[in-house]
Structure 1
């Protein structure tokens, strides 16, 4: 890649794309509930909309991943998803009723999350078999999340909640501008492997007709993806109710944005360290450790609304997000054939951000309405649930000699 200007340009564009894509999440995840509240929605309805929004990707993400694995047309798929997302964000301010807000949110979450597996596939394909490219690019995403969270918190505090929409629209337009420069890494299996035969994906397998079916047949992989998905899905209460909970406890939007930044900063640092840690420990050990540290984090957040205490516990986000995500991508890179990688990433995305996320938000929300801090305790239980799955996955993998 050092001697190839096009490859360098593609890598730079992918770094920037991660920054912008996660930057959009940095404004929508913490502050979209506040925008809903500014439109007169009560916390129960906001929680329902946020929770339900995670469901559409269950259908859209595997379909897009299947098309990408079969055709390699990632650029067109990404551009189409972003264009549809832009239209839907523009529709938000014109949606006057809860029903319309729910409809727009559902459609948005059918198209926007489908971009993520394509991005991640490009990132791991651009590496040299060690996973370093993914972790550095994902760190750029975390930096984007932190930067936009701080900017969004300031703008919302200074002006009004409509800046959630303005920033989102600007960031999607910027993402669209980057698409044409992204690397052509997500190709059909045979073409990709002939180009990169020296990498971990070689030797080139026969094309796979149903990649997701092959992924589901690999029980150790399935258990490991499920475990990492539970850790990721345990963020459900943080994403849907934490801003409302902390605001009700007296914290300002500026303080809340800084607390998010503390967590994201720890993510960034850990992403840079992850390849060395994974080379020594392996993916399953890091997922297991991430599950335990995440459970500690949520249990601690259930016990205090002191900004200093919250800030300290937010440092454990390095495990919840960086350690867990780096580990599962490392695992997929090493155990999944090239023709199935996008589908494996999509399975992780639809479980972690779809099925499991919906369940965790619903459970956390039910507890929140009677005892607000209890939502974090539900998330702690969710994270602990990953432990036996990792142990079982390791046992199966050892039994298979892998």
Structure 2
């Protein structure tokens, strides 16, 4: 079995879970008796653990040189924690389980992204055509879960979590074992010092903030999109189709991503994503007719897909290989943790007061992110932000040219 098929299988099994979790976890929370503020707290507070946990596991993987082993640990921990949703009740216990689940499962993503991007560089693998299988299974999961909810109680969602994460464990087991690279002795603390160097570099900070804010424009959508559409009278099947439409657009973008990434580059991809966010959320805030709403969902291919492609390309170019997983996790911690968490906490009471008009704030955030991307374009020309060691500069420059 080729590496591309194995990676596609992992993406596919990961997004089976995400395809149920993102659209319908808030629906399950509401069925457990949580109000809008409590839902936003469960969704948001669980994001903050990624600030510390994801970089920690990524640093462990970089240190031992075996990302597969760390991913197996994380996949099993995710399955066990999700299974607890079958028994827990009440805000406190639900929050505790959500904290654990959102500490371990998202930590898999930077590791698999790093493995995939290295395969793109070393073997010429088409990253987008491997990653799109995650988007395909997201569609199947969101539509399937919506269909199941038409004739089952919301408790079915927790069972879907367990089934999807069981498949994720199996998918990660298919990955090839990695041999730890032969490295020259490194003085104690030097890797941590390198992480600090890239983590506090002004260009890295500015890009990560702009990309994270672009992803955070989805906060109302992720936390309350399904509930808002239920309030507008749409069935769970239609809601599942709306989510799926956005991911279909994402799939199309990933399929043709090779030449697009080469032509536009990381920063212009982010600028495109931020501009699309301004349009998408402005129109969505107006509660447009269903046909227009489907059209706005198509822009998910840009607001999420283009921002994601730009971010993974930026980290691959800006960070040296020895810090690849750690740098990816720093971005993921900001995008899916700090910024998304802060915005999600804020939109809870705002959505309770404004309803769908809260999307106007997401459009404003997109405009700010666009400005940040413009500043990055003025300061970064594709160079590595932390110099290579042991004469690896020439090798790195050859990789970027491939």
* Alignment TM-score > 0.5, same fold: yes
RMSD across aligned C-alpha pairs, in angstroms?
2.2
Distance 1:299 1:285 in 2: 22
Structure 2 counterpart SS, 1:382: helix
Measure the CA separation in 2 of the matches of 1:279 and 1:129: 16
Structure 1 alignment gaps of length 5 or more: 192-203
The secondary structure found in structure 1 opposite 2:70 is helix
Residue aligned with 1:183, SS: coil
Matches within 5 A, 1:257-296: 257-296=240-279
Q: Distance in 1 between matches of 2:275 and 2:372?
A: 13
Deviations along 1:34-87, one digit per CA (max 9) or x if unpaired, are: 111112222221122112121111110110111111112222211111111111
Do the aligned residues in 2 keep the contact of 1:189 with 1:339 (CA within 8 Å)? no
Superposed counterparts of 1:247-396, under 5 Å: 247-396=230-379
What residue number does 1:195 align with?
none
Equivalence for 2:161: 168
* CA gap 1:401/1:150 in 2 versus in 1, 3 angstroms: closer
Report deviation, 1:263. 0.4
Maintained 8 Å contact 1:220/1:394: no
Cα deviation, residue 234, structure 1? 1.3
Report if the CA contact (8 A) 1:190-1:206 is conserved.
no
> What do residues 91-116 of structure 1 show as CA deviations (whole Å, max 9, x unaligned)?
11211211111111111111111111
Deviation per residue, 1:231-279 (Å, 9 max, x gap): 1121111110111111111111111000011100000000112221121
**Larger deviation, residues 373-382 vs 116-125:** 373-382
Cα distance in 1 for partners of 2:26, 2:382 equals 46
Q: Secondary structure of 1:161's partner?
A: coil
- Listed as ranges, the gaps of 5+ residues in structure 2 are 386-402
> CA–CA distance in 2 between the matches of 1:401 and 1:158?
53
Q: How many residues of Structure 1 are paired with residues of Structure 2 in the alignment?
A: 382
Local SS of the residue matching 1:35: helix
- The answer as to whether partners of 2:14 and 2:165 remain within 8 angstroms in 1 is yes
Q: Superposed, which structure 2 residues align to 1:198-217 within 5 Å?
A: 209-210=191-192, 211-217=194-200
The separation in 1 between residues aligned to 2:319 and 2:384, in whole angstroms, is: 15
- Relative to the length of structure 1, the TM-score reads 0.89
Say whether the 8 Å CA contact 1:157–1:253 is kept in structure 2. yes
1:86 correspondence with 2:86: no
Pairs within 5 Å for 1:111-122: 111-122=104-115
1:113 is paired with a residue whose SS is coil
**1:189 positional shift:** 6.1
CA contact (8 A) 1:233 1:356 kept: yes
* TM-score when normalising by structure 2: 0.89
User: What residue in structure 2 maps to residue 36 of structure 1?
Assistant: 29
Q: 1:400 to 1:237 in 2, by over 3 A?
A: same
Counterparts of 1:400 and 1:19, CA distance in 2:
33
Matches within 5 A, 1:63-74: 63-74=56-67
Give the Cα separation in 2 of the matches to 1:130 and 1:378: 42
CA distance in 1, matches of 2:30, 2:336: 23
In 2 relative to 1, CA 271–206 (structure 1 residues): closer, same or farther, beyond 3 Å?
A: farther
Who is 2:42 aligned against? 49
Q: CA deviation at 1:368?
A: 0.9
Cα offsets for 1:171-194 (capped at 9, x unmatched): 111111122221346x65656xxx
CA distance in 1, matches of 2:219, 2:382: 34
Counterpart Cα distance in 1 of 2:177 and 2:281: 40
Distance 1:349 1:89 in 2: 21
Contact 1:189 1:205 in 2 (8 A): no
Distance 1:50 1:358 in 2: 8
Deviations 1:355-377 (A, max 9, x none): 11012112222321111122211
- How far is the alpha carbon of 1:16 from its aligned partner? 0.8
Question: Distance between the aligned counterparts of 2:92 and 2:380, measured in 1?
Answer: 47
- Which of the numbers 142, 158, 163 marks the counterpart of 1:149? 142
